[in-house]
Amino acid sequence: MKKTILLIMLTALPLLSASAQGEFALTPRAGLNLATITSTKGSSIKPGLNFGVVADYMFTSQWGVESGLMYSMQGATFSGLSPSIDYLNIPLLAKFYLTDYYTESMGFYVVAGPQFGLVGIMDKVGYTTGYEGKLMPDAITKGFDYAAVVGVGYELESGLALSAHINWGLANIAKDSFKAYTTTGQSTTEQVIKRDKSYSNFVFQLNFGYRFTL
């Protein structure tokens, strides 16, 4: 038991030493979303908002990681409809400053990495299709998403920051099949409709924030 504890301590010491040399910061952030859903016929951009807080940790004067929790209003506009699908997104990004962060405390940076999302709020109003009745979005849409994120940003010495990101959805957010109903006379027939396309989120984000170190 003592040997195990000693081994854990010896393993943790280099990690603690590395942490002591780094820097941890938080950035409350909010901004504009321009979202759509790919493969949706006649779809166009749906504007929305995003807000939340991200944390970053700098391992060196240029390299770090960034993560956080962002609320993102997404969806698309098509055929006169504008369904909303709001996500709770968790990015996990590598961060690289183009300048020496410790000496200049400002400048351009780039980020890239994966993002995972869970549906927070979805439209509860059904919409009409070629089938009788109305389809509810939660009956045909999955509750999760994942995407590839690339972005750029600029931070002022005061802490004010401007950033732009592209979230390119990699997941098919639509269920492979869904149920629809048609009524003939007094009888109702249930149909299982299978999809032959995949549908993915695509979002451009423009954000303002304020970064402060802890």
State the pLDDT confidence band at 9, using cuts at 50, 70 and 90.
very low
pLDDT in tens, 38-79: 876 667 889 999 999 999 999 998 999 999 999 999 988 876
Domains of the chain: 23-213 (2.40.160.20)
- Residue of higher predicted confidence among 4 and 55: 55
Are the beta carbons of 195 and 20 closer than 8 angstroms?
no
d(CA 76, CA 130) in angstroms, rounded, equals: 19
Q: Tokens 């990495």 identify what position?
A: 113
Give yes or no for residue 168 having a pLDDT over 90: yes
Query: Whole-model pTM?
Result: 0.78
- The size of the chain, in residues, is 214
pLDDT in tens, 85-135: 899 999 999 999 998 877 776 789 999 999 999 998 877 655 555 555 555
- The confidence score (pLDDT) of residue 157 equals 87
- The confidence score (pLDDT) of residue 48 equals 94
DSSP 8-state secondary structure symbol assigned to residue 99: S
Closest CA to 33 of 208, 204, 207: 204
- Residue of higher predicted confidence among 49 and 174: 49
- Residue of higher predicted confidence among 31 and 85: 31
Rounded alpha-carbon distances, angstroms, from residue 205 to 6, 11, 30: 48, 40, 10
Are the beta carbons of 172 and 145 closer than 8 angstroms?
no
CB atoms within 10 A of CB 103: 7
